Amino acid sequence: MIITTSLYDQLSALYADKETAANEGFSRLRAAAFDSFSANGFPTAKNEEWRFTPVAPFLKEAYHFQPAADAVSDGGMADLSALDAYEVVLNNGAPGKLPSIPGVKISALRDVLNSPAPQAYLGQSISLSQSSFAALNTALFSDGLLIEVEKNTVVDKPVLITHAYNAAWPFFAQPRLLVVAHRSSKLEFIERYVVDGQQALFVNSVTECFVAENARVDQYNLQVTPPNFHLVNFTQVSQRADSLYNNHTYTLPGASLVRNNLHLDLQASNTESHLYGLYLAGGRQLVDNHTLVNHANPHCFSNELYKGVLADAARAVFNGKIMVQLDAQKTNAFQQNNNMLLSDKAVVDSKPQLEIFADDVKCSHGSTLGSFDESSLFYLKARGIGESSARNMLVKAFAFDVTRQMPLAAVRDCVEALITEKMESLYEPA
Amino acid sequence: MENNNSNEILDDYIDKEYEFGFVTDIEMEVAPKGLSEETIHYISAKKEEPEWLKEWRLKAYQSFLKQPEPHWQNFELPNVDFQAISYYAAPKSGAKYKSLDEVDPALLETFEKLGIPLSEQKLLAGVAVDAVFDSVSVATTFKETLKEQGIIFCSISEAVKEHPELVKKYLGSVVPYSDNLYASLNAAVFSDGSFVYIPKGVRCPMELSTYFRINTQNTGQFERTLIIADEGSYVSYLEGCTAPKRDENQLHAAVVELIALENAEIKYSTVQNWYPGDKDGKGGIYNFVTKRGVCKGANAKISWTQVETGSAITWKYPSVILQGDNSSGEFYSVAVTRNKQVADTGTKMFHIGKNTRSRIISKGISAGEGQNTYRGLVQVGTRAENARNFTQCDSLLIGDRCGAHTFPYIESKNNTAMIEHEATTSKIGEDQLFYLNQRGIETEKAVALIVNGYAREVLNQLPMEFAVEAQKLLSISLEGSVG
């Protein structure tokens, strides 16, 4: 069934316009992507991957595809001024002034669409039929960022990408990021969001990240946004032999809808990947994290730790899938999801999923769901610590378990400070 | 050095033929093939059923027609031609025996081969057997003893005649006729099954047990079991099956409904060893069963234990609806798949009442090209204060072409709930094998030992009489399997 919102029709019209103006090497990919989107439409609850995440209510706004306003970036809610980084600002999806980084090609995607890297990598690893939103982005994205790290280059400072949004009316944005780390290179990049104005914003972003042989990429995603913000994020990572990829995704109270899709494709052996996530949700927020780690080759290691703290009437969805293909012997794959519910209206739907076709593997997953541990609370109170401080302490202990996995101290401090601050507004002791 | 040997043993094991395959030659009365309203009228008339039951069957049939085939399962659904099945088969020699002497000797021999010497049942350690041979109950033993305590243990067709008020009240109350495609089919055409009622405060003095057996080619078996434990009562029920070897697929779509009222406890154990098909996956039983229990009153308890070694496809989720406060549900399962067998099994625990507890232990063993799926749901409703769940699902892989999959769903709407889920997948540890080898235990025995230990937690839940059979089954299906 296809939701035929006016948005769907608008998008079709937009695509028709664009098609006539197309003058780039991607028309075939875009056409396939658009066909896939029009066939599947926006996902409904009947789609197993979207069972707990109804998007239709968020698509009702009369969205425009042009912001008709300039984004202003003044750092926003995630203060990273302590971080020494190369900075890039994407104003409503279009890159502003670009830094020059030795050994790194960094450009606005629209200017380089016909150059070798996008031609070789863009849209190559995403299964369009599996993800309607990613297909839509592929069909219609107009700009974004390309970061290409040359081989044997260790980028000395992290790259901080600020997505700044401000629109005069409800705005539907589709930014695209392409990150290519060539052989034996190293890159750290951080994404954060700055939102001005009160208009509804729907961001459907796609990031593709290629980690070549012996390369290392660390990706940070800090999602601290106001309630008028809606995010559907699709990250596709392809790892070649001996590579290392780390992902840190943090979602804090604010955005009404956050859906993160993180797909890891382990295309060669001896790779290592770590996925860390923390979601702290309040109000009527809906935070959904879907991860897929596809072990297609032997001797790969993946580890996943996602934790969630839910207050008020927040809803969280976690779906972690580990696939171990027939040839992927000697796989080590671990996954853990812990949830803490602070309010009796909060809802969690957790689905840790293992699909294993090889026998010589070590795989495990664990999922827990609960509230405060009474004995821990009692222990603290018996030592003269007040109820609310004790509870705060326990929540922090729970959450900082994830944050301490971040090697970049400036980012870690920023996130921990944000958690502490948000906790105070989230949890009102009874 | 071990490797060659292991491969041989492994091949032996994978090639192992079904040990219980044989066909009993008894004259049968069989309904013409096909499914239509006439079929239902035919069955209903044959069984001399009251009007309300026929109406209910017809409603179920309408519901069956409306439902599409499911597609969410983790295997390819074989094409079952519902029109090619005969929906009624009864041994012609008549259905009402008073004593065992009247029973067809060929039939008794069947049970003999299965290791259930019916004639000796009365002398055995207190097991009453309601043996269902295809569709009609042939002999019920120990009935008199049970009757003294007011316990009703009979075939469901008999219950319809003699206790219509109980059947009418509870039939379809846990698994409604519109529940799913196969449950609707069962409701429309169910031929027979067992009915148990335990009166208030009675502790059933013996394990009740039924042995099912599919005979006659192309007769799908549609058993319906209804167990009601009234306030403060206790019953343990055993179900076990072996089926003769057949080349054609046979559909088994049973429905089991359990109702536990206040302070009652029902323990339901299954050992399932239907014909699994040959090593190329040809033939074998499709075991699509809907099993569900409801803890209707406070402090009620329902426990499912299953050992699944047979069937080409096993597809069932014995579930518990924890409606009463302080009620508890348990699910213990061992599922073994080898050759091209598929098992998609697990449980659903619906926490509705306060202080409800559930415990799920699932042990999957996959060998050859077997695929084992655990699919579970733990749902905590807004009213279910202090609900508690613990889930453990482990998978053991033997051979490099098998698969183990887990699809746990955890849905909580209450922050006082405590839910834990853990799962592991691995093969038999080389170090464990080495340790046992080093102590003079040969590899084959070591594997059996490890697997038995692995499944121990579940096997321990089985009643004595069954545990022996289950252990035998496990060792037959797993002897010589080396990781």
Among B345, B127, B114, residue whose Cα is nearest residue B212: B114
pLDDT at A241 over 50: yes
Residue A425 falls inside a structural domain: no
Residue B72 falls inside a structural domain: yes
Q: How far is B370 from chain A (nearest CA, A)?
A: 10
Show residues of chain B in contact with A354, CB under 8 Å: 395, 404-406, 423, 425
Query: What span, in angstroms and rounded, lies between the C-alpha atoms of A53 and A347?
Result: 12
Show residues of chain A in contact with B411, CB under 8 Å: 52, 347-350
Among A86, A31, A97, A94, residue whose Cα is nearest residue A67: A94
| Count of structural domains, chain B | 1
**Inter-CA distances, B263 with A18, B146, B301, Å:** 69, 21, 7
Are B398 and B366 in contact, with CB atoms under 8 Å apart?
yes
Residue B318 falls inside a structural domain: yes
The whole domain housing A285 covers: 6-374
Please answer yes or no on whether A348 and B412 come within 8 Å at the CB atom: yes
Please list, residue by residue across A239-268, b when 16 or more beta carbons sit within 10 angstroms of its beta carbon and e when fewer do: bbbbbbbbbbbbbbbbbbbbbbbbbbbbbb
Residue B11 falls inside a structural domain: yes
Q: How far is B52 from chain A (nearest CA, A)?
A: 36
Residue A80: its pLDDT value, please?
82
Q: How far is A269 from chain B (nearest CA, A)?
A: 18
Please answer yes or no on whether A369 and B395 come within 8 Å at the CB atom: no
Which has more pLDDT, B85 or A155?
A155
List % helix, strand, coil for chain B (3-state, nearest 5).
Answer: 25, 35, 40
pLDDT at A278 over 90: yes
State which of A133-142, A231-240, A363-372, B364-373 shows the largest mean pLDDT: A231-240
Q: How far is B313 from chain A (nearest CA, A)?
A: 18
Residue B483 falls inside a structural domain: no
Show residues of chain B in contact with A368, CB under 8 Å: 419-421
Please answer yes or no on whether B417 and A369 come within 8 Å at the CB atom: yes
Residue B210: its pLDDT value, please?
66
Helical (H) or strand (E) element with A177: strand A176-181
Among the partner-chain residues B398, B405, B483, the one whose CB lies closest to the CB of A354 is: B405
Please answer yes or no on whether B418 and A350 come within 8 Å at the CB atom: no
Residue A423 falls inside a structural domain: no
Contacts by A18-21, CB closer than 8 A, 24 or more apart:
A18/A140
Among the partner-chain residues A329, A349, A353, the one whose CB lies closest to the CB of B411 is: A349
Q: CB distance from A296 to chain B under 8 Å? A: no
Among the partner-chain residues B416, B419, B425, the one whose CB lies closest to the CB of A363 is: B425
Residue B465: its pLDDT value, please?
64
Residue A189 falls inside a structural domain: yes
Q: Which two tokens stand for residue A345?
A: 């209206």
Residue A75 falls inside a structural domain: yes
Which has more pLDDT, B121 or A398?
A398
The whole domain housing B314 covers: 2-478
Q: Which two tokens stand for residue A48?
A: 């197993």
Are B190 and B256 in contact, with CB atoms under 8 Å apart?
no
Which of B372, B412, B420 is the mutation pick for testing A, counting most A CBs within 10 A? B412
Please answer yes or no on whether A356 and B72 come within 8 Å at the CB atom: no
pTM greater than 0.90: no
Among the partner-chain residues A358, A360, A367, the one whose CB lies closest to the CB of B421 is: A367
Residue A159 falls inside a structural domain: yes
Residue A404 falls inside a structural domain: no
Residue B177 falls inside a structural domain: yes
Residue A426: its pLDDT value, please?
65
| Count of structural domains, chain A | 1
Angle at A179 between CA A174 and CA A180, to 5 degrees: 145
Tens digit of each residue's pLDDT, chain B (483 residues): 344 454 555 555 555 555 555 555 555 666 677 788 888 888 888 888 888 888 889 988 888 888 888 888 888 877 777 887 777 766 554 334 445 555 556 555 545 554 554 444 333 333 445 555 544 444 455 666 778 888 888 888 888 888 889 998 998 899 998 888 888 988 888 877 888 899 999 998 877 876 544 444 444 578 888 999 999 999 988 887 554 445 455 788 889 999 999 999 999 988 887 777 777 777 778 888 899 999 999 999 999 998 888 788 889 999 999 999 999 999 999 898 888 888 999 999 999 999 999 999 999 988 888 888 999 899 999 889 899 999 998 888 887 788 888 888 988 888 888 888 888 888 888 888 899 999 999 887 888 788 888 888 888 888 776 677 677 677 666 654 554
Pairing of strands B255-260, A315-324: unpaired
Please answer yes or no on whether A341 and B72 come within 8 Å at the CB atom: no
Please answer yes or no on whether A344 and B483 come within 8 Å at the CB atom: no
Show residues of chain B in contact with A339, CB under 8 Å: 412
Are A263 and A294 in contact, with CB atoms under 8 Å apart?
yes
Instruction: Count the residues in chain B.
Output: 483
